Structure 1
């Protein structure tokens, strides 16, 4: 649940607590763990966007998709080490395709495109976990 969907003081406190927990994890994470956190965060946003699709909540869907796009563009793509050659190029291409699918899912109001983006991101997340032994 996003902080904006919480109601009342209890919801605001829970959202603030969740933000502190995330900030703590990010602050103490290794570069490998940061990528894992970014992947998980983007997937969470895609899951939220899918829920908002089913609820007909256009504004919340747009915010969730925008946040997922921001994570992929400014976090995951920015973290690619271009010196790694073809693997880096393939990963960049995959992330760019995910961004395209997210944009099109929102513009065309197409939950299937959103699901495809989520599936691709899940595949990257699983591969990352296997490659890093979940570290």
Structure 2
């Protein structure tokens, strides 16, 4: 392991530890997009081991996204997200078997849209929390 990779690992660990649940989902979706791109690139090179490895990573991300769903409190939203993740998994499998990178690109676009939604939700929560916290300018003046 190089010093650079150790620093990168530490940075990612800190980023994950300080992330909100919404940010964690957005990070997973971003990673999913990254590995979908690697799958498409490997498919184009006819690199079967590389394609399989990248595809496995996408499946692992989909599994993690599924595990993060709060089905008890999430109601219809959680059900719809579960259906989306399951559909992505089926599409991923079919696209790999039939060598159809356009299907993978469609999944990636949808992941990007969903990622933006989670990021917006995080920003809304941060904004609401800041609005509830009084600003102490006068209290600090002597």
Aligned to 2:52: 62
Residues of 2 paired with 1:94 and 1:64: CA distance?
A: 20
- Pick 1 or 2: higher relative contact order, CA cutoff 8 A, min separation 6: 2
Q: Is residue 8 of structure 2 the alignment partner of residue 18 of structure 1?
A: yes
Aligned residues between the structures: 124
TM superposition shift of 1:69: 0.9
Contact 1:43 1:121 in 2 (8 A): yes
Any unmatched runs of 5+ in structure 1?
1-8
User: Considering only CA atoms, is the larger Rg found in Structure 1 or Structure 2?
Assistant: 2
Alignment of 1:99-118 (within 5 A): 99-118=89-108
TM superposition shift of 1:97: 0.8
| Residue among 62, 67, 84 paired with 1:78 | 67
- Distance verdict in 2 for CA 1:61–1:15, change over 3 Å: farther
Q: TM-score, normalised by structure 2?
A: 0.76
Any unmatched runs of 5+ in structure 2?
127-142
TM superposition shift of 1:23: 2.1
Aligned to 1:6: none
Residues of 2 paired with 1:61 and 1:23: CA distance?
A: 26
The ranges of structure 1 where at least 4 consecutive aligned residues each deviate by more than 3 angstroms after the TM superposition are 12-17
Contact 1:77 1:95 in 2 (8 A): yes
| Residue among 34, 41, 46 paired with 2:31 | 41
Contact 2:26 2:116 in 1 (8 A): no
Residues of 1 paired with 2:102 and 2:78: CA distance?
A: 27
Q: TM-score, normalised by structure 1?
A: 0.80
Report the aligned-residue RMSD: 2.0
Residues of 2 paired with 1:95 and 1:59: CA distance?
A: 24
Residues of 2 paired with 1:54 and 1:15: CA distance?
A: 28
